[in-house]
Each structure stands twice: as C-alpha cells, then as structure tokens.
Structure 1
Amino acid sequence: MLRILTIHTASLKKYLFHFKVFLGFTIVIFSPSCGQSEPAPDLFSLPTVYKVGKKPDEIKARDMNMDGFPDILVSNAGSDTLSYFEAIGDGTFKTAFTMNTGREPLAFEVGDFNGDKILDIAVSNYGDGNISIILGQKDGVFKQKANIKVGRLPIAISVGDFNNDEKLDLAITLRFDKLVIFLGMGDGSFKMGEVYKASGTPAHMTVGDFDNDKNLDIAVAFNAVQVNFLRVFYGNGDGTFKNPIKILGGKQSSFITQHDINNDGKNDLLTSSSMHDVIKIFLNNGKSGFTPTEDTAAEKGPEYIVPGDFNGDNIPDLAVANRRDASISILQGRGDGTFIFPHFNYPVGANARAMIGEDFNDDGLTDLALLIYDRQMMEVILRKNSSPN
C-alpha cells in the first residue's frame, strides 16, 4: 500500500502528495522490511521532508539559539550556502534560514570560537581552498568574520582543544594527503599550526582521547583506491601530534565515527566503505591501539553511521544510511563489536548520504535526520515510543 508523505514548504504549510509509480517520478515510501518474510519492527514514524540547497553534503544538530532544542545545519555544496533549521521542539522545524558560504562547502563544524558563549560556525570551502568563520550574535544573526586560507581542496573539518589552552582549534584534511592544524586565538581568529602528511586521500576524521592521556587525538579515514587502513594521530597536548599510527583494516573508507560499541568504557572506531558495502569496527585497546574486527556486511553503498540503542536492550546498535539502495539499515548490536544478521531496512529517499541522530522531540529516544543528495531534501524521521517487538 502506498503511503502519504508530508512535505514542508517555504510557507510552512503542509501539502500531501501521492507518489505514483511512473517513469520520472520519485517514490518515497516508509514501509519497513528486512529482506525476510518477517517484517522489521515498526520503530520509526513517516519522514517529514524539508527543502535544502543543491548537493547537500554535511548535516549537524546543535542548539544554536540556546532554547534547549537541537537545531539543524546543512551545508549545500551545489548552492554555496548553509541552511539553518530552527527547532520548534516537537520534532518539526521552521523553514530554513540560508547563509552564503564560499564555493563548494563540503563540511563544517560548530563551536564557540570567540568566547562569548554563543555558537559559531567554521565552513570548509572545497572550491576556494579556505575556511569561512561565521560568528553567532546575541540577536540570532550570523556575521562572517574572515576567510582563512588552508590549502588546496579542503575536505573534512573537526574542532577540539588540541593544545589545552581552553580555546577551540581546527583540524582540516586536504584532498592531496595533508592534515592541517589551526590554533584558536579565542577571539574568532586562528593561526596556522603544524602540517602533517596523510597519504591515501583523507576522507573523514573524528576527534577524541583514544589513549586516555587527557590529550585529544585524531583518527582519519582514507578513501583512495586500494587503501585498507586508518591513521591515528596521537596528540602531545601542545597542538602537535606524534607520527601517525597506521591501523590495517577497512577498505576505501568514506566515513569514520566513534562510540563505545562493546561497553568497555573506551570509544572504538567505526568506518563505512560505500564502494565495498561493508562496515568495519576497530576495538580500542587503550594505549596499545586498535584491533580490527571482521567485516560487517552492509547494504548497498553505506555512508554515515549513527550509533545508538534503537531496540531498547541497552546495547549499542547502528543506524546506517545506504546511498545506492535508498534505505536506512538498523544493525542490532550484540555488545561485543558484532551485529545480528539480517539487518532491519527502512526505505527512504534515493541517494541517502549524510545522517545524524538526535532527540528532536524531547521524548528520550534517538531520532534521525538525513540528506537526500540529488533531491535537495532533508528527511527527519522520529522514533516511535513503542517496543520494537
């Protein structure tokens, strides 16, 4: 049976569309299945769809206006803009406010860069080779402070206090095998720090204290052809990093994140390979590094991974956005770094890529928001407050 989908437009009115099977039309259905005769549990409500810019690439949830509800930011690489969706608090959002960026904003980060306790934005502009610093104001307006030249083709960006001076710094990966550090001055400006070689086409990174020495480290995924490793740059605590440790495992990884997937108190690394249809878990051994597990089979084109307890058993699961088969997969965790098969699959819009998890309606459950890359759409999918069984 064909479902009805609610679409939000710029006027905030809701229009109902029946999507028909016809050449040239997109079918957006949300009827769960797991590829078996038994249907997947009815965990999610129908998605609400919001308009974004062209080629949306990155999505994050932060309470930008400090009202207690997570807002959503989206970078649109094809429109050279940033979309800001202000949360209403019930799982819905106001029509996006649009900010101009540099050319091809592939990624961005959020933090208080000038010490005024208001969140700011750092945007990585792939086409310009720079970072735009956009400062938040008390009246809810954003003001662009400066563009920082970082080098050719910046891809990913992360924030953290790498030199322990209580000011946020930036880490940027460049397409041509570099990791660049910029140290924050605390007033919204940055000075260039060290540049590190990162051969293998760095794609994505995650920041955390992986060896429990109170200094932030950086784990980088690489997506060059034939690459089957990660690199972890362990921090010295002064804004510099040791020579990276190569961790074998993971094929042409397009995404990396972290979570304590085996409940041992240490954050593990999780990667996806959209080219090889696998998820890879690297268990954190503390000071001795990471141990790769066996490949976890995924659906077609896994991209972003959102860890969370989606079946209510207090064991970490994974939600995975699958680009090539237009679905979200829920991988139920066993608590040891492995997952139950088959996975539960929930159809979404075609070419799903970036995805985040957050409690958007304040019910204590993790909801999802994801970007449909070639449809200029964002889907917000709320968890149902019911037993998965």
Structure 2
Amino acid sequence: MIFLNLDDGTFTQSKTVSYKFKPSHITTGDINNDGKLDIIAISSDEPDITVFYNAGNGNFNNSMIISTEVPLADVKAVDINKDNKLDLIVACSFEACIIVFLNDGDGVFSKQIRYEPTYFPLSLEVIDVNNDALPDIITRHDYFKITVFLNTDNGNFIEQKSTSISLDSRFIKAIDINGDNKSDLLVGYSSSFQIHFGFGNSTFANPIEHCSNYGITSLETADFNNDNKIDIILSHPYNNKTSILFNTGNGTFIEQKIIDNIDRPKYASMIDINSDGKAELVIANDQTITILNLHC
C-alpha cells in the first residue's frame, strides 16, 4: 500500500499496487531516470524481480519482470559503476549466489554478473567500506559469517575474508556509528546487537555487545535528538515497547528512552513527515502505522 503525503503530515487514503506474490522485500529508486521513484519488489518464493514504474501521480500502472532463475532473499538498488544509473543487486535464498544487474539507463537490464560466495547470503548491505568512493557489498550469511565484496571500479566485486559472528544474526546495518568516517557494522540478534567498528580497509574490529531486556525484531538508525550523532532504535513487539539508544559520539550508548503502549511494534524509523526539518518517529505493526512527535 502507498500513502501519499499532503505536505502537512497527513496522508491520502492508501493506494494498492497489485503483486501476484507475497513480497518479502521492497526498495525504491528511479530505475528509468525519469525523476520519479519506482518500486522494486521480490518474493522469497519466486525467481523474479518486479519493477513497478511510477506514473508520477501515485499510480504504478506499468511493471517489468526480471527473471533470476532462483528465489531471492534481498534486493538493493544502487549505482555500482558510476554511470549515474541505478543497478540492482540481489541475494539468492536457496543457492550461494549474488547477482548484479547492470542498468542500461532506461530501465533495461541487459547485463548481469553472477557471484558465487563461499556461504549462502541471507541479506545485503551496500556501502563504501574502504573509503575509495565506490559502493561495496556486505552480506550476512548462515554459518555465522559476514562477508565483504570490494568494488573494483567497473562494477565487479572481489570476495574478502569473512568475519565470524557469535550467534545466529537477524539483520545487519552498515553505517559510521562513531563519527570517524569509516563504515561500521551493526549486527542484530534476537535480544542483543553487536557493533563491529570498521578500520576503513574492509576489515572490522572484534564486536562490542549491547544486550536488551526485550526481544528485538528491527534495528534502525537516525539522529533522533539533532546532536549530529547516529542513534539506534529497537522494536520490541512482544513487550509493546520501542527503545531509543542515544549515541555519546564514540559509538557508546549510555542513555535510552523507552516508549511504552505501542501495540506490538515490529518496525520503527525516523522520517520528516511534514517537511518542517524535524523527524517524526514512525512505528508500524501488522495493522497500523503510528506517527509520534518525539521530544528528546
């Protein structure tokens, strides 16, 4: 469903984009360079990528299906070869493969590059991990591994040595958490998360663990209190709580804010809904979306 913002923090009634399967992941990006955000969807049960083209009025009437031959676990849209065209990167769910689809510029993907990593990829992050201004790929695997694939400047990637993690991870996020201009890794688990500080050369330090008193289903980052430091938000649906952990600036989190009485929150993020320069807290569960004006 799509809710169109009326610029004052209110939304139109939802519009539905029909999809023949239950989507497991969606992302957005201007695939055909027409200045409009398109929707890219995958299903973990089907070997396809579906691109829904934005008509500019909130409607997505035309779509394109890209066959992958194998079901998919994750999808990202990013320009990997510096040609100002959004490419697609997917992780395969039942085979050890990563596929890069290079965009010709008008939304046609005539070239694909397939990589067969050592371990099965479960999810992807795309970020520059070695400060060469090129987006690299980070994959979360089974067998308690995280692997970096370095971009070689032409859209090709080279697999690096994997980083071992101690538990069965739920999600990863790559971001500079301590303000040293090097990408760090946040690895989420069922009731804790770990921070691997990056050295800026595609390698990471041993993890620092942060435990939660509640089960975690999502981990997102944003500067919640406008102090130019990246904070962390955790969703705890089984406890009807959302936690915000405030960053001291060096990647440590001392103070936290607990938001109670949110019915089974599964996902939370910070977005400037009404274009006033202040971000609101958006919390979603299976039935509702709640928008909170947060005063930190």
Q: Which has more radius of gyration?
A: 1
Range with bigger deviation, 307-316 or 112-121 = 307-316
* 1:369 aligned onto 2:288: no
Shift of the 288–166 alpha-carbon distance from structure 1 to 2, 3 Å rule, reads closer
Task: Indicate yes or no: 2:173 matched with 1:254.
Answer: no
Unaligned segments of structure 1, at least 5 residues:
1-82
Q: 2:243 maps to what in 1?
A: 329
Match of 1:190 in 2: 109
Deviation, structure 1 residue 125 = 2.3
State the partner residue of 1:169.
87
- Structure 2 matches for 1:228-243, cutoff 5 A? 228-243=144-159
Aligned CA distance change for structure 1 residues 171 and 323 (closer, same or farther; 3 Å): farther
**Conservation of the 8 A alpha-carbon contact between 1:270 and 1:280:** yes
Letter aligned with residue 117 of structure 1:
G
Alignment partner, residue 180 of structure 1: 99
Matched-pair contact (CA < 8 Å) for 1:135–1:188: no
CA displacement at 1:131 relative to structure 2: 0.7
Cα gap change, 1:182/1:278 in structure 2, threshold over 3 Å: closer, same or farther? same
Matched, 1:382 2:292: yes
Q: What displacement does 1:148 show?
A: 0.9
Cα distance in 2 between the residues matched to 1:243 and 1:353 = 33
- Is residue 2:131 matched to residue 1:215? no
Q: Which runs of 5 or more structure 2 residues have no equivalent in the other structure?
A: none
Q: Given the two structures, how large is their TM-score scaled by the length of structure 2? A: 0.90
What is the CA distance between 1:134 and its match in structure 2?
1.0
What SS is found at the alignment partner of 2:2? strand
Q: What CA distance in whole angstroms lies between the structure 2 residues aligned with 1:288 and 1:103?
A: 37
**In the alignment, which of 31, 37, 41 is matched to residue 123 of structure 1?**
41
Which amino acid counterpart does residue 121 of structure 2 have in structure 1? P
Q: Residue 100 in 1 paired to residue 18 in 2?
A: yes
C-alpha displacement of 1:349: 1.8
- From the superposition, tell whether residues 134 and 301 of structure 1 become closer, same or farther in structure 2 (CA, over 3 Å): same
Q: Alpha carbons of 1:314 and 1:118: their partners in 2 closer, same or farther (altered >3 Å)?
A: closer
C-alpha distance in structure 2 between counterparts of 1:128 and 1:288, whole Å: 33
Q: 1 CA distance for matches of 2:32 and 2:173?
A: 27
- Superposed displacement of residue 325, structure 1: 2.5
- Residue 232 (structure 1) shift: 1.2
Residue 344 of structure 1 corresponds to 258
C-alpha displacement of 1:194: 2.0
SS in 1 for 2:24: strand
8 Å contact from structure 1 (residues 159, 170) kept in 2 = yes
Contact 2:147 2:159 (8 Å CA) reproduced: no
Q: Which residue does the alignment assign to 1:43?
A: none
Do the aligned partners of residues 214 and 310 (structure 1) sit closer, same or farther apart at CA in structure 2, a change above 3 Å counting? Answer: closer
Matched, 1:147 2:147: no
1:156–1:205 Cα contact (<8 Å) kept: yes
Is 1:317 matched up with 2:236? Answer: no
* CA distance in structure 2 between the aligned counterparts of 1:362 and 1:200, rounded to whole angstroms: 43
Amino acid at match of 1:256: I
The AA in structure 2 aligned to 1:246 is S
Instruction: Flag the 1:139–1:168 CA change in 2: closer, same or farther, 3 A.
Output: same
Contact 1:282 1:290 in 2 (8 A): yes
Other structure's SS at 1:324 match: helix
> Counterpart of 1:171 in structure 2: which amino acid?
I
Shift of 1:320: 1.1
> Separation in 2 of the partners of 1:314 and 1:139?
35
| 3-state SS of paired residue (1:190) | coil
TM-score, reference length from structure 1: 0.70
User: Is contact 2:246-2:256 (8 Å) kept?
Assistant: no
Structure 2 Cα separation of the partners of residues 230 and 220 of structure 1: 6
Q: AA paired with 1:292?
A: N
Q: Indicate conservation of the 8 Å contact 2:244/2:256, yes or no.
A: no
2:267 maps to what in 1?
354
CA distance in 2, matches of 1:162, 1:230: 20
SS in 1 for 2:201: helix
Kept after mapping to 1: 8 A contact 2:117/2:159: no
Q: How many residues are matched? A: 295
Shift of 1:95: 1.5
**C-alpha displacement of 1:341:** 6.0
Look up the SS of the partner of 1:328 in the other structure: strand
Aligned to 1:292: 206
1:156 pairs, out of 55, 74, 98, with: 74
